[in-house]
């Protein structure tokens, strides 16, 4: 067998791959909670969130003030975004899509996207697998002063 060439991978790349492929070791127990019982994690003056994590899925409640920007990013996680109140304008897949209250956007794995809150917005995001960068608080792109 010919020798294989080893390539260096960034720590972030390895971490994301493990997030997507390694079975979770998180405790899988029944969770029954009220959003009111989960502290809001402030990420910047216009953006806060709460989340609940299961073994293979995560749901987050994202609170955006009008004008809040979620910078362009991508992740290995599939994402379902459901707008409860307000509206988000997305730049995604070469399109501009406005998602209003009562509407849903399904974002495939690794698809770059950016969002702008057109009004004060309450958004439920579901991720599979759970967002390791959110859990570990390494999501610097959201933790700006804007």
Strands 69-73 and 95-100: unpaired
In the chain, which residues have pLDDT < 50?
1-23
Given this model, what pLDDT does residue 83 score? 98
- Whichever domain contains 39, its CATH number is 2.60.120.10
Residues 6+ apart with CB under 8 A from 54: 26, 28, 31, 130
Q: Is 2 helix (H, G, I), strand (E, B) or coil?
A: coil
Residue appearing with tokens 């402030």 = 42
Given this model, what pLDDT does residue 28 score? 72
Instruction: Report how many domains make up the chain.
Output: 1
Q: Is residue 42 part of a domain?
A: yes
Q: Is residue 57 part of a domain?
A: yes
Q: Is residue 48 part of a domain?
A: yes
User: Structural domain of residue 56, as residue ranges?
Assistant: 11-142
Residues 6+ apart with CB under 8 A from 113: 72, 73, 74, 90, 91, 92, 93, 107
pTM for the model stands at 0.80
Given this model, what pLDDT does residue 14 score? 41
Q: DSSP label at 121?
A: E
Q: Is residue 2 part of a domain?
A: no
pLDDT tens per residue, range 116-142: 999 999 999 999 999 999 999 999 999
């Amino acid at each position: 067998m010919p020798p294989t060439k080893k390539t260096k991978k960034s720590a972030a790349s390895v971490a994301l791959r493990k997030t997507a492929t390694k079975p979770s070791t998180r405790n899988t127990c029944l969770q029954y909670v009220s959003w009111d019982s989960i502290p809001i994690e402030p990420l910047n003056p216009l953006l806060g969130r709460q989340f609940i994590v299961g073994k293979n899925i995560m749901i987050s409640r994202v609170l955006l003030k009008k004008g809040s920007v979620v910078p362009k990013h991508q992740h290995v996680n599939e994402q379902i975004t459901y707008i409860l109140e307000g509206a988000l304008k997305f730049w995604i897949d070469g399109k501009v899509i406005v998602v209003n209250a009562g509407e849903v956007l399904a974002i495939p794995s690794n698809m770059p996207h950016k969002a702008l809150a057109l009004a004060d917005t309450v958004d439920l995001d579901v991720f599979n697998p759970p967002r390791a960068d959110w859990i570990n608080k390494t999501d610097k792109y959201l933790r700006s002063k804007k």
